[in-house]
Every structure is written in C-alpha cells, then in structure tokens.
Amino acid sequence: MRAFFALVVLTLSFHVFAQSQPPVTLRSILLEQLRTTHNSKDWFVPINVAVDGLTAEQANWKDGKGNHSVGQLTYHLLFWNRRELAKFKGEPESKFSGNNEETFDNFDNKQWSDTVKKLDQVMTELEKFVETADDKKLEASASEIAHIGTHNAYHVGQMIFVRKLQGAWNPDNGVK
C-alpha cells in the first residue's frame, strides 16, 4: 500500500512540475542552443567561459601541430556568427573569398579583448533575433540557427583542448 501511495505522489509531482514549465517551442529550443554556447553553462562550457581570463599572448598560442589558437577560433566564430546575423537581419554580408582559412587567419592578438567583446555582442544579437523574429522568419531560419549552435559548440571544444595543451585551463571551469 505504501508503494502505491508513493507512486501516486510521484505521478502527481511530475504532473505539477510539467505544468509549471513553459511549453517547449521552436523558439525556446533555438534560444537554449544559442545561450548554452554563448554564456549559459549547461552540458558543456560556453564561449564566454572558454575565453575568460586569457591574455592576448595566451590567445595567440599554438601547439605547433597545425591546430588553431584560441584567438583564431574566436575570430572564426565572430566572422561566421556576424555573417549569419547580417543575413537574418537582411543586411549585406561582408566580402568573403570563399576560403574558410581566411576566417581564422585574420586574428590579431592586439585586438583580442575587442574580438571577445564583439563575439559576445553578436551572440547577444543572435539571441535577440530569435526572441523577436516572427514565426515565419524563425521557421525559415531555424536550421541555420541550429547549425550555429552546433558550430559554436564544436569550436568551443577545440578552444578548451588548446587551453588544456597550453596549461591555461582551470578544470573548475567545467571540463576536467
């Protein structure tokens, strides 16, 4: 009999919990993806944590094995996220030759802190776009927005890897 009452209480608890949560929507999923790769720790480290505390010299460090520096990866994300944002807003996209390596190689360690700030700003603007876009525009952009989140997560993982190789990563920040 105790087991029966425990089951009833658990069932009611889950029902009440489920009702208190806002419904899952395309918008909420896309926002969650962007935020967890931007500044909200969840299953993995977001961009803001991955770049936090790095000096320009550390951001420019390479392992000598062909891997990009954290600065190059940050610049690459800035380039592509800015480009996608412009497209979503109907603004002209920046000139691009089509050579993806150029999106890494324009990093300048003299502008490290500015690059970090600009990436944070672009990520915030992408989130605002998702928050305010009408349903038709959001649906038309959904696949690209989802890919932005995946692309960001992939490169943030590389940033953490490079920081670990460099000895510039604190495992208390989320990845041991």
> How far is the CA of 75 from the CAs of 27, 34, 135, in angstroms?
27, 17, 31
Q: Model confidence over 13-32: pLDDT tens digits?
A: 555 555 678 899 999 999 99
Q: How confident is the model at residue 8 (pLDDT cuts 50, 70, 90)?
A: very low
* Cβ atoms within 10 Å, residue 158: 16
CA 164 to chain centre: 19
Gyration radius from the chain CA atoms = 20
Of all helices (H) and strands (E), which one includes residue 24? none
User: CA-based angle 108:158:73, to the nearest 5?
Assistant: 20
Domain ranges (residues) in the chain: 25-173
Q: Model confidence over 44-97: pLDDT tens digits?
A: 899 999 999 999 999 999 999 999 999 999 999 999 999 999 999 999 988 899
Is 25-173 CATH 1.10.3470? no
Contact 44, 153 (CB under 8 A): yes
- Which amino acid, one-letter code, is at 91? E
Q: How confident is the model at residue 166 (pLDDT cuts 50, 70, 90)?
A: very high
Mean of all residue pLDDT scores within the chain: 89
Q: How confident is the model at residue 43 (pLDDT cuts 50, 70, 90)?
A: confident
The residue count of the chain comes to 176
CA-to-CA distance for 32 and 42, rounded, in angstroms?
Answer: 10
Q: Is the pLDDT of residue 3 over 70?
A: no
